[in-house]
């Protein structure tokens, strides 16, 4: 069969319109990062409010990231029917709806109601995520895709730095921790209102983008891509990466409050999350430049090895050294998602939306791995539980080595 066409041929935009679409596409990553990382602040609030243990607390991430598992492939199918911009609009509207559902959740003061609202937010996030990655990939030459996607995820990191810092001030200050769930519903309602405005802007650009042609006949067609070893290994690596990233981020507020680390109060620890997510921002900006000189598989391998060493080191250290070493993991998480995504999707051509859907299905790692981490923390202690993300980084390192040796595998339509 014929080789898939170059991604550059799939969405020919004029120069002026490209300059308009690009900042909109990059801004979507900002909102995705902000909404997702706010879970790390929400979790200790709900833990305090409903007297949860660590395993129960991680149900927040379980419900959120399960949305990726259930919605990613339907999102790819939606893109094939209505196009990228309309699908992004639908995703933003769904995110806003989920934010507004925090009102009835707060009124009932029922933990599962919060989980249901989060799932709706996650469904919208998934649609936008599946849309935003191929959108950015289509806005330039295939040879610059890893750097362009890394920059887009740097915009994501800006959101992950800003949201936890503001969220810690609003949600985790002593007065808020002592109050009920109203502070949570009010915060998410404001986010929902802003997302409605963003959806209007994206919808207004729906006729200014030449959508990708698609080879997708039904949602089940997507899974045939897993016959390619590079795609299969890449999906597994993304599962492990998101699981590790979310596990570390979810446990950091509690970890930094341990007597053996920094002894921080929840609000202070929540603010320090900005260093974790800020490290991702710095790492991604460095990555945009470094990718001019270093191959993407080499960078994935080196960063996974560094993240593994930092987690293991933090587990063996104490005091500020243990805290800062774990916070530094964010720096080396930085380029993993965009580079694994780019390496997995390379050569998919007209099946790029399906590839994005599969990659986003793998984000369910953020639902499953933190639950294992939380369960191990309950069975042993929080420090020992970090062995779970450490193992994940070994798997990511293996993918980097595989891509370095066999990254030339091609995918045909």
Asked, for residue 335, whether it belongs to a domain, the answer is: yes
Query: Do residues 66 and 119 lie in contact, with contact meaning Cβ atoms separated by under 8 Å?
Result: yes
What's the CATH number where 286 sits? Answer: 1.20.1250.20
In a domain, 349, yes or no: yes
Residue numbers of the domain that contains 113: 7-211+220-406
Q: What is the pLDDT along the chain (413 residues), one digit of tens a residue?
A: 333 333 333 344 444 556 778 888 899 999 999 999 898 888 888 888 888 998 899 899 899 999 999 999 898 888 888 888 899 999 999 999 999 999 999 888 889 999 999 999 999 999 999 898 888 877 777 777 788 888 888 898 888 888 888 988 888 877 665 567 888 889 999 999 999 999 999 999 887 766 555 555 667 778 888 998 999 999 999 999 999 999 999 899 999 999 999 999 988 998 898 899 889 889 988 988 998 899 999 999 999 999 999 999 999 999 999 999 999 999 999 899 999 998 998 877 777 778 888 998 998 999 899 999 999 999 999 999 999 999 999 999 999 999 998 754 444 33
Token pair of 19, please?
């300059």
pTM of the model: 0.76
In a domain, 156, yes or no: yes
Whether residue 412 lies inside any domain: the answer is no
Domain annotation covers residue 1: no
Q: Tell me whether residue 324 is exposed, middle or buried, using C-beta atoms within 10 angstroms of its C-beta: 0 to 12, 13 to 18, 19 or more.
A: middle
The greatest distance separating any two alpha carbons of the chain, rounded to the nearest whole angstrom, comes to 64
73 inside domain: yes
Distance CA 42, CA 239 (A): 23
Helix and strand element counts for the chain (H, E): 20, 0
Please give the tally of structural domains in the chain: 1
């Amino acid at each position: 069969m014929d080789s898939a066409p170059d991604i550059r041929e799939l969405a020919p935009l004029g120069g002026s319109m490209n300059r308009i679409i690009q900042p909109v596409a990059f801004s979507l990553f900002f909102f995705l990062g902000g909404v997702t990382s706010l879970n790390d602040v929400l979790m200790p609030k709900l833990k305090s409010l409903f007297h949860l243990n660590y395993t129960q607390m991680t149900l927040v991430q379980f419900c959120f990231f399960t949305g990726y598992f259930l919605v990613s492939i339907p999102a790819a199918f939606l893109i094939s029917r209505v196009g990228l911009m309309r699908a992004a609009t639908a995703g933003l509207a769904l995110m806003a709806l989920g934010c507004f559902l925090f009102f009835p959740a707060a009124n009932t003061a029922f933990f599962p109601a919060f989980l249901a609202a989060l799932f709706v937010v996650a469904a919208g996030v998934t649609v936008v995520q599946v849309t935003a990655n191929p959108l950015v990939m289509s806005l330039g030459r295939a040879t610059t895709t890893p750097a362009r996607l890394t920059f887009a995820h740097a915009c994501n990191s800006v959101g992950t730095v800003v949201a936890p810092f503001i969220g810690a001030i609003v949600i985790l200050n002593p007065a808020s921790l002592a109050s009920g769930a109203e502070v949570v519903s009010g915060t998410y309602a404001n986010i929902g209102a802003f997302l409605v405005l963003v959806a209007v802007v994206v919808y207004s650009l729906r006729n200014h983008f030449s959508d990708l042609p698609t080879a997708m006949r039904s949602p089940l067609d997507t899974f045939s891509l897993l016959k390619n070893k590079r795609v299969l290994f890449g999906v597994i690596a993304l599962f492990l990466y998101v699981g590790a990233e979310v596990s570390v981020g979810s446990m950091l507020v509690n970890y930094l409050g341990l007597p053996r680390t920094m002894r921080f109060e929840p609000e202070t620890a929540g603010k320090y999350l900005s260093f974790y997510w800020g490290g991702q921002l710095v790492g991604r900006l460095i990555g945009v430049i470094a990718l001019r000189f270093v191959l993407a598989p080499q960078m994935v391998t080196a960063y996974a090895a560094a993240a593994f060493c930092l987690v293991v080191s933090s587990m063996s250290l104490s005091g500020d050294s243990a805290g800062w070493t774990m916070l530094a993991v964010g720096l080396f998480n930085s380029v993993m998602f965009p580079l694994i995504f780019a390496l997995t999707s390379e050569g998919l051509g007209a099946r790029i939306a399906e590839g994005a859907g599969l990659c986003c299905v793998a984000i369910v790692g953020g639902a499953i791995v933190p639950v294992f981490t939380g369960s191990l923390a309950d069975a042993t202690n929080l420090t020992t539980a970090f062995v779970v993300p450490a193992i994940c980084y070994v798997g990511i390192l293996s993918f980097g080595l595989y891509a370095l040796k066999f990254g030339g595998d091609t995918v045909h339509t």
